């Protein structure tokens, strides 16, 4: 395992706290003292007592120090390279039809191919970044584009949203895309299979067998094969340990004086959408669906892919990680060994390096992560949504069109099983409206997952074993104990990031690589925030975490 160390700033801010405080005193403070204090005139009435202020810095010195910390953070951010952002080239290769790029919400023809003039207006707006140009884009229905200008926002903390990069998205004419598509078809077919039944489900065994034959399937395997124990799981060692679902999506959440059960309102089984061509085409044009979700009247714990999809249909994006933080604080999980108060006897952490600090920090990174991935979505990749690709597969297989789709998906057992169940080759969706009206790559949920989980892995002792693991009962009304290998904080945090990301995949609206690349994007944002914040604290400290690729980082 390799290790990296980040000092939290340029060379000046790597100094000890005492050296730093000394540096900003003396002549530098004196130079601004008069301006800082300002003129003082006669005071009428009773004498005004001097403030009984104590501390290592005078007000004038503090003013200089505060400015120095901000400059050092800006210098650190400025020192991060801004690499060339590279897409997969499909937009140019298939420029006449744009069949490989996101176009949902724009006018489409009967084959679900975007109107060329409308797409060009869309590109013009992206190039100009002008609010009014986006208002001039012709739409095909009543659903607006989701906030493209967020991708041009600047940040005042952490990496600039245009600094991190993700690799080019898989192309529709390559085997990796075929493998990812087949996984999504199987996820749709298996939405109602309970996670605890995967080992005994004939459908899951069939899916694992089919995915194993793909030449470029990049999900976890055992003995070079996808198995019921590895299917639909994330990429880390923690993802493969124990039950499919993270403990952080099951345990009660201590929220002040409240104990919140994680039984949720879910939807009835067997309800899938956009399996008919007319419905599919209307949704691609941005027309709102004519029906909504049908809800189960009884709240239940998450049991299967459909329940997990509904969780991520309406969640607050940092919800699962705030909950995880509350659970960890509630059970007294130990902080990272570099927390300065671990060995203190006469003081403890609170506003810094205590509960309030981590609770705010784990949510603070979410919006920064979102703005970074919105840039990737709209301004770099514009990857088409899986539902749109399902339409390409359908039209190809019924002979309505000819597309440069890699052949492996066209001969997959997954599309045959879908046709047998639904009558079309379209990818069944769990949400009536299908995907949101923004491109697929990267994934907002997965990027936020990567950022928030990185903060938690840095803050808590990731090796701590969670006590008393549980799984949902078959009806989802209770939690039952389970015998399993040790479940560590770090492993279950990696798992909850994958669970939330794959909930979107179970719904049919994201690809596997949307998860695998986006969690690393969020991770980069979170590490950058921690680097820049390091110089702001009076306490000497360090934070250590294992990244999603298995490497060790100390900040």
The model's pLDDT over 283-326, given as tens digits with 9 standing for 90+, comes to: 999 999 999 999 999 999 999 999 999 999 999 999 999 999 99
* 192, two tokens: 């109602």
How much is the average pLDDT of 123-144?
98
182 phi/psi in degrees, rounded to 5: -60, -40
3-state secondary structure 453-513: HHHHHHHECCCCECCCCEEECCCCCCEEECCCCCCEHHHHHHHHHHHHHHHHHHCCCCCHH
Encode 264-290: b = buried (16+ Cβ within 10 Å), e = exposed: bebbeeebbbbbebebbbbbbbbbebe
Alpha-carbon distance of 549 to 302, in angstroms, equals 28
- The continuous run of DSSP H or E covering 118 comes out as helix 116-128
pLDDT at position 80: 95
Q: Which position among 108, 162, 438, 541 bears the catalytic label?
A: 438
pLDDT at position 24: 46
Burial of 351 (0-12, 13-18, 19+ CB in 10 A): exposed
How much is the average pLDDT of 74-99?
96
DSSP helix/strand/coil, 238: helix
Cβ 88 vs Cβ 26: under 8 Å: no
Given pLDDT bands bounded at 50, 70 and 90, which one contains residue 37?
A: very low
pLDDT at position 53: 79
Catalytic site includes residue 82: no
Residues present in the chain in total: 555
Contacts of 348 (CB under 8 A, 6+ apart): 341, 354
How much is the average pLDDT of 9-25?
45
The model's pLDDT over 465-479, given as tens digits with 9 standing for 90+, comes to: 999 999 999 999 999
Cβ 509 vs Cβ 432: under 8 Å: no
The model's pLDDT over 514-544, given as tens digits with 9 standing for 90+, comes to: 999 999 999 999 999 999 999 999 999 999 9
Cβ 374 vs Cβ 151: under 8 Å: yes
The model's pLDDT over 225-264, given as tens digits with 9 standing for 90+, comes to: 999 999 999 999 999 999 999 999 999 999 999 999 999 9
Q: Is the peptide bond before 478 cis (omega within 30 degrees of 0)?
A: no
Across the chain, mean pLDDT equals 93
Tokens 């944002």, located at residue: 525
For the chain, list the domains and their CATH numbers: 90-554 (1.10.606.10)
The model's pLDDT over 436-472, given as tens digits with 9 standing for 90+, comes to: 999 999 999 999 999 999 999 999 999 999 999 999 9
Query: What number of other Cβ atoms are within 10 A of residue 175's Cβ?
Result: 17
Q: Which position among 108, 162, 445, 541 bears the catalytic label?
A: 445
Question: What ranges in 272-385 are assigned the alpha helix state H?
Answer: 277-284, 305-314, 319-330, 355-375
How much is the average pLDDT of 179-186?
98
Largest Cα separation within the chain, whole Å, is 94
Residue 39 has pLDDT above 90, yes or no: no
Alpha-carbon distance of 126 to 133, in angstroms, equals 8
Residue 51 has pLDDT above 80, yes or no: no
Tokens 């999980």, located at residue: 333
How much is the average pLDDT of 40-46?
48
Residue 34 has pLDDT above 90, yes or no: no
CA 190, 192, 198 angle in degrees (round to 5)? 60
pLDDT at position 29: 42
pLDDT at position 459: 98
Catalytic site includes residue 445: yes
Encode 424-445: b = buried (16+ Cβ within 10 Å), e = exposed: bbbbbbbbbbbbbbbbbbbbbb
How remote is the C-alpha of 315 from its chain's centroid?
13
Residue 14 has pLDDT above 60, yes or no: no
């Amino acid at each position: 395992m390799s290790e990296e160390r980040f000092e939290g700033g340029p060379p000046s801010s790597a100094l000890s706290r005492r050296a730093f405080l000394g540096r900003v005193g003396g002549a530098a403070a004196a130079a601004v003292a008069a301006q800082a204090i300002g003129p003082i005139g006669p005071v009428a009435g009773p004498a005004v007592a001097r403030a009984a202020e104590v501390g290592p810095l005078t007000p004038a010195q503090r003013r200089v120090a505060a400015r120095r910390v901000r400059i050092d953070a800006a210098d650190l951010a400025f020192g991060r390279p801004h690499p060339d952002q590279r897409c997969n080239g499909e937009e140019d290769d298939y420029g006449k039809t744009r069949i490989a790029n996101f176009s949902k919400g724009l006018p489409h023809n009967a084959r679900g191919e975007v109107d060329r003039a409308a797409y060009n207006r869309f590109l013009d707006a992206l190039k100009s970044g002008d609010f009014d140009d986006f208002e001039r884009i012709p739409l095909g229905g009543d659903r607006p584009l989701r906030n493209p200008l967020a991708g041009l926002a600047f940040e005042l903390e952490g990496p600039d949203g245009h600094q991190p990069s993700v690799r080019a998205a898989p192309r529709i004419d390559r085997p990796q895309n075929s493998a990812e598509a087949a996984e999504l078809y199987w996820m749709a077919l298996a939405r109602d299979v309970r996670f605890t039944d995967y080992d005994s489900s004939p459908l899951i065994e069939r899916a694992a067998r089919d995915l194993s034959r793909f030449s470029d399937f990049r999900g976890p395997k055992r003995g070079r094969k996808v198995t019921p124990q590895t299917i639909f799981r994330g990429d880390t060692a923690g993802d493969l340990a124990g039950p499919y679902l993270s403990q952080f999506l099951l345990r009660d959440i201590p929220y002040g004086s409240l104990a919140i059960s994680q039984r949720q309102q879910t939807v009835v089984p067997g309800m899938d959408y956009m399996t008919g061509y007319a419905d599919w085409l209307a949704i691609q044009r941005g027309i709102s669906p004519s029906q909504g979700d049908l809800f189960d009247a009884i709240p239940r714990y998450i049991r299967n892919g459909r329940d997990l999809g509904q969780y991520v249909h309406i969640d607050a994006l940092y919800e699962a990680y705030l909950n995880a933080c509350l659970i960890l604080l509630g059970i007294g999980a130990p902080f990272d060994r570099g927390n300065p108060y671990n060995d203190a006897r006469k003081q403890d952490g609170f506003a810094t390096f205590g509960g309030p600090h981590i609770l705010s920090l784990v949510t603070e990174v979410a919006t920064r992560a979102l703005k970074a991935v919105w840039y990737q979505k709209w301004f770099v990749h514009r990857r088409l949504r899986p539902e749109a690709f399902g339409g390409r597969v359908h039209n190809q297989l019924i002979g309505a069109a000819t597309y440069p789709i890699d052949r492996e998906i066209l001969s997959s057992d997954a599309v045959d099983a879908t046709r047998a169940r639904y009558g079309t080759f379209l990818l069944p969706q769990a949400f009536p409206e299908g995907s949101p009206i923004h491109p697929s790559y990267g994934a907002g949920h997965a990027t936020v997952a990567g950022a928030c989980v990185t903060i938690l892995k840095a803050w808590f002792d990731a090796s701590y074993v969670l006590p008393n693991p549980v799984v949902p009962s078959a009806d989802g009304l209770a939690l039952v104990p389970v015998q399993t290998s040790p479940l560590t904080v770090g492993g279950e945090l990696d798992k909850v990031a994958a669970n939330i990301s794959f909930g979107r995949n179970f719904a049919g609206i994201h690809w596997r690589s949307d998860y695998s690349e986006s969690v690393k994007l969020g991770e980069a944002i979170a590490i950058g925030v921690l680097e820049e914040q390091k110089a702001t604290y009076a306490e000497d400290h360090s934070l250590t975490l294992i990244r999603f690729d298995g490497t060790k980082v100390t900040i």
